[in-house]
Structure 1
Amino acid sequence: MRSKLLESQGLLTYISGKKFSMSYKKEGKKVKHYVFDLCNDLGAVPKMIYTGYQDHSLNIQYCDGKNGQDFVYGKIFYNTDGLITDKKEVALLVKFADCSPVVLYDPKKGILALVHSGWRGTAGKIAALALDRMVKDFSSSPEDIYAYIGPSIDQESYEVGPEVYQAFEDFAKRDDFFYQKGDKHHLDLLGANEAILLEGGIKKEKIEICPVSTYRSKDFHSARRDGADYGLNSMIVMMKD
């Protein structure tokens, strides 16, 4: 799967599903071979591949092609759920199993960001933090940025407790992406992340939202559906030289 919108702007994108699992904890060094296959699907050989040891943080790291700690298939930053670069042929990779992968791309300035946004990241507006970095550190203009929100769990399948609803209290229109059923709420991750991007000044016509549910699609891993044995999907993106 690819983002048609981002690819139309010259960005290379690819999303893997159940073809393999990108969980290093469960798959070990086999993930190095999976990443090789992933790059074949991407259609490029990156000079460096970056990922984060994701733990639902709001931390975003700049990737220059040399920094970061050595990892089995490239470089890694610990306690990191967002990556940003201005380097061509440096690939960014996130893993997800129901959470939203969100891409921000400024083709004018040549700036690329990729974040992993679960309910904690979405409540903390990690996509907005990445957008702020693009504007402040690289002089991007929000109106020039294209965005993609990838496959995620659908709202009907995403039942959450009151503590999650409470975590979104800073959202002016919180009830636009929650509905209540009994004592549980159902969260629309896609809608919440779109609202964050629109609030940040990205134009609606420059946002692509993938309609595929990781929970309902047999082609994707889902933590909520598969339980303790769940695998990890991945999204990889790269600017061409």
Structure 2
Amino acid sequence: MPTGARAAALGNASVTIPDLWALHNNVAGIASLKQTQVGAYAENRFGIRAFSTVAVQAVYPTARYGNYGLSLSRFGDALYSQQHVGLGIAHKLGQFSLGAKADLWQVAAEGYGSRKAVALSVGGQAELVPGLYVGANAYNINQARLAAFNDERLPTIMKAGLSYRPYPKLLLLAETEKHIDFPADFKAGIEYQMLQEKLALRSGFSTQTNKATFGLGFRARQLQADYAFGSTTLLGISHHLALGYTFQN
């Protein structure tokens, strides 16, 4: 699942966004970062404690050798859990950004033990013309296997999208995501910045999950705080909170 409250507020239409949370959403996006950033993220789905995720991420940029990122996350409880550690690298070449990432996943279920697998992903972003961006990401391109029984594998997901900034304060996003075993999901989002770009209002939707999302972001010097919530007609409301800090180089 995508990470970060900004992405969650935009219906998870995040494949073109170059920010700290791109390390998980589309690793190519970290190539645009010019300062070291760290962040923490927490989400709860449908008010159920077992459906909670916590994550931390960090990105370290270099002038000549690309940008590097480290991500960690945990989902679940004592009965069932998923946790991962990931390493990513991205590099910017003119108007193009390219990246690759490896995630080591451990999936554990009480009474059944645990399994580990490594998922590889690649991504790209580009500015086609001023204000128009394109992005694509392929997750688990190696189709990592968790267990031989029933050929159980980590999900393989392809996504591609566009974003357009008609003027500096407004961002429009659209994205299609395809899990190889399920129908395609169309997602779209909108972000509007106000108060000298210190406050951002966001909204989005996803067709496959029938989910509407809303959120806001606030920036105070080096600190970025984002909150989002989303609702589905059947399952209820999810909450997302992210905090990020940018170091002055």
TM over 0.5: no
Bigger RCO of structures 1 and 2 (CA < 8 A, at least 6 apart):
1
For the pair shown, the structure with the greater C-alpha radius of gyration is 2
TM-score by length of 2: 0.33
Greater share of strand residues, 1 or 2?
A: 2
Greater share of helix residues, 1 or 2?
A: 1
